[in-house]
């Protein structure tokens, strides 16, 4: 059994339709790259998007590359929003007091 050295790329064979092959050729020509370079880039981008999304893919087979916030990020956001809400309430109370004083003069 042969094992490849870590420095060599793994080989992946993918069957694509004639239409997809033409689209791949067209994209490669437009980018001045080889078909293999375009395919490698597409695989890399797909895997990075999937990792960012923590491997969540929405059905029907639609991938949304926007990362979902973690629980800690959501809690931080809630804390920030609550702090802003309190500051706004304090400002509104001060404004109301000023308005009441101005009306009483």
For residue 2, is it within any domain?
no
- Number of structural domains in the chain: 2
Tell me the percentage of the chain whose pLDDT exceeds 90.
18
Could you tell me the residue range of the domain that residue 104 belongs to?
A: 69-105
The residue assigned the tokens 């990075």 is 48
79 plus 103 within the same structural domain = yes
52 plus 40 within the same structural domain = yes
CA 70 to the chain's CA centroid: 13
| Close Cβ partners of 33 (under 8 Å, ≥ 6 residues apart) | 41
Contact 65, 53 (CB under 8 A): yes
74 plus 104 within the same structural domain = yes
For residue 23, is it within any domain?
yes
pLDDT at 53: 75
Confidence of residue 1 (pLDDT cuts 50, 70, 90): very low
For residue 7, is it within any domain?
no
**Across 55-65, average pLDDT:** 65
Summarised one tens digit per residue, pLDDT across range 31-41 is: 888 999 888 88
């Amino acid at each position: 059994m042969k094992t490849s050295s870590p420095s060599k790329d793994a080989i992946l064979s993918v069957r694509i339709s004639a239409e997809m092959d033409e689209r791949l050729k067209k994209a490669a020509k437009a980018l001045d790259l080889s078909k293999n370079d375009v395919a490698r880039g597409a695989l890399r981008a797909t895997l990075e998007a999937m990792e960012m999304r923590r491997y969540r893919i929405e059905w029907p087979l639609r991938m949304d590359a926007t990362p979902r916030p973690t629980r800690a990020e959501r809690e931080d956001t809630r804390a920030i929003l609550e702090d802003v809400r309190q500051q706004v309430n304090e400002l509104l109370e001060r404004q109301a007091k000023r308005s009441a004083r101005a009306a009483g003069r």
